[in-house]
Amino acid sequence: MQMTKRTAAAVVAISSAVAMPAAAQENGNGSDLSGTLTIFSDMSNPAPRAVMEDMAARFDEMHPNLDVEVTIIDREAYKTQIRNFLSADPPDVANWYAANRMRPYVDAGLFEDVSDLWDEPEIQENLASTEGALTLDGKQWGVPYTYYQWGVYYREDIYEELGLEEPQDWETLKSNCQALIDSGRKCFAIGTKFLWTAAGWFDYINLRTHGYDFHMQLTAGEIPWTDDRVRETFANWRELINMGAYIDNHQSYSWQEALPFMVNGDAAAYLMGNFAVAPMREAGLTDDQLDFYQFPAINPDVEMAEEAPTDTFHIPSGADNKEAAREFLRFVVSAENQTRINAADGLGQLPVNSAASVGDDEMLQEGFELLSSGAPGGLAQFFDRDAPAEMASVAMEGFQEFMVFPDNLDDILQRLEQARQRIY
């Protein structure tokens, strides 16, 4: 099958047309779907690209009267092109991200309301943990296809040596930290050279201090950065900074460059997404040394929310084949497909369907359980997805500065507040 002129003209991209496999025969499944289903995807790295092309080929085979065409676009180029192709010549399905990152296209009327899909029991019951991330203005605007959890990866062998337990609350985290410092170690490795890692700490401390709704209101620009509740979040964070909890000169390291501090035992833990597990293992940590715990509670009256950046599929409002697009979204979130695409030899992340399987990897099992049932407070998308890009840039600079110069807090909050008033 050749790429249609319509599809090829929409973007300058790495392109591939997924032809209907020769083995596909009339099987009665979805025989009412016909025409062409066009999909634009930013899954351009080798493993995600293979996942995308495999999904499209399997869906094509299930629907013999439907032709599926996929255009794969370099991820960074996709970010600059999406508004243009959604406006000018939209595909039937497009990749994007959840929560505030989809708001510009929802507000511009470029994404289709798919609340009808979320009313279906199979989706409503098995994707409940992600519904909030796909909801704006009381409606759902897409479906998730993968996410990953954040949490504290720690040196279990060091904790056992010092007789420490996984902390369930803030006071225990701090007492553990003091014991680690007394043993000559740092509590946490972190590299803030590229800023976003500091945002992970702000997000968790703010979520645990004030909860998901407050955090979302703050990232939506509805709460001043000079609010006393924001200062309370920073006051909690400063308790760790004043203790000397973090490795020295962290602003000089990327997150990968800070890994040796944990691998060598100079620091005992790392707040990070599960994408860090493979590098930790490759650097020499065994599963007997490495474990994971949920970021502990700070305010006992606040429900536990989690960071779970979520990648999504959407139907553009100008799509030609919305019936086939809806059926493709159902296929994407099915338990069988979720198990397959998120496997270790695929995306290597977590399935969004609670009925899916994650295999026998202990870290993935713990993350899957955490996000499927252990996050009653909601799922945040990480600061630079929940806040507009310009606000995220200014704020993350402030977070890093605060970690190095906590006495600058008043000036930092004034700058963030000025940015809030300008940007929103």
Looking at residue 129, its pLDDT comes to 87
Q: Which contacts (CB < 8 Å, 24+ apart) does range 360-363 have?
A: 362/287, 363/274, 363/277, 363/290, 363/292
Query: For residue 404, is it within any domain?
Result: yes
Query: For residue 189, is it within any domain?
Result: yes
Q: Specify the amino acid at residue 417.
A: E
Residues 249 and 339 in one domain: no
Q: What is the domain extent for residue 267?
A: 150-307+388-423
Q: What is the tally of structural domains in the chain?
A: 2
**What is the DSSP secondary-structure string of 64-129?**
TTEEEEEEE--HHHHHHHHHHHHHHS--SEEEEESGGGGHHHHHTT-B---HHHHTSHHHHHHSGG
Residue showing tokens 């993968």: 146
Looking at residue 345, its pLDDT comes to 84
Looking at residue 374, its pLDDT comes to 62
| CA end-to-end span of the chain | 46
Residues 212 and 226 in one domain: yes
Query: For residue 169, is it within any domain?
Result: yes
Closest CA to 208 of 260, 150, 255: 150
Q: Is 78 exposed, middle or buried (0-12, 13-18, 19+ CB in 10 A)?
A: buried
Query: For residue 379, is it within any domain?
Result: no
Q: Given 3-state DSSP classes, what are the helix, strand and coil percentages for the chain, each rounded to the nearest 5? A: 50, 15, 35
Do 130 and 379 contact (CB within 8 A), yes or no? Answer: yes
Residues 14 and 155 in one domain: no
Q: What is the CATH number of the domain that holds 93?
A: 3.40.190.10
Residues 288 and 362 in one domain: no
* Sequence-ordered list of residues with C-beta below 8 angstroms from that of 212, at least 6 positions apart, any chain: 303, 305, 377, 378, 380
Looking at residue 31, its pLDDT comes to 54
Do 149 and 295 contact (CB within 8 A), yes or no? Answer: no
Residues 293 and 155 in one domain: yes
Query: For residue 168, is it within any domain?
Result: yes
Residues 125 and 138 in one domain: yes
Using DSSP's 3-state secondary structure scheme, residue 268 falls into strand
Do 248 and 414 contact (CB within 8 A), yes or no? Answer: no
Please give the torsion angle defined by the CA atoms of residues 212, 213, 217 and 218, in that order, rounded to the nearest 10 degrees: -40
Residues 281 and 199 in one domain: yes
Residues 264 and 411 in one domain: yes
Residues 301 and 325 in one domain: no
Query: For residue 381, is it within any domain?
Result: no
Compute the radius of gyration of the chain from its Cα atoms: 23
Query: For residue 378, is it within any domain?
Result: no
Q: How far is CA 221 from CA 113, 298, 397, 417, in A?
A: 24, 24, 17, 9
CA distance 344 to 368: 13
Query: For residue 288, is it within any domain?
Result: yes
Q: How far is CA 355 from CA 98, 336, 372, 373, in A?
A: 21, 9, 9, 12
Q: How many CB atoms lie within 10 A of CB 424?
A: 12
Give the pLDDT means over successive 10-residue stretches in the chain (424 positions).
34 40 38 92 93 97 97 93 96 94 94 98 93 93 95 98 98 98 98 97 98 95 98 98 98 97 98 92 94 96 95 98 98 97 89 92 87 82 92 97 98 98 95
Residues 121 and 159 in one domain: no
Residues 202 and 324 in one domain: no
Residues 181 and 251 in one domain: yes
Structure tokens at 151: 């949490």
Give the residue ranges of DSSP H helices in 146-264.
156-162, 170-182, 196-210, 212-219, 228-243, 259-263
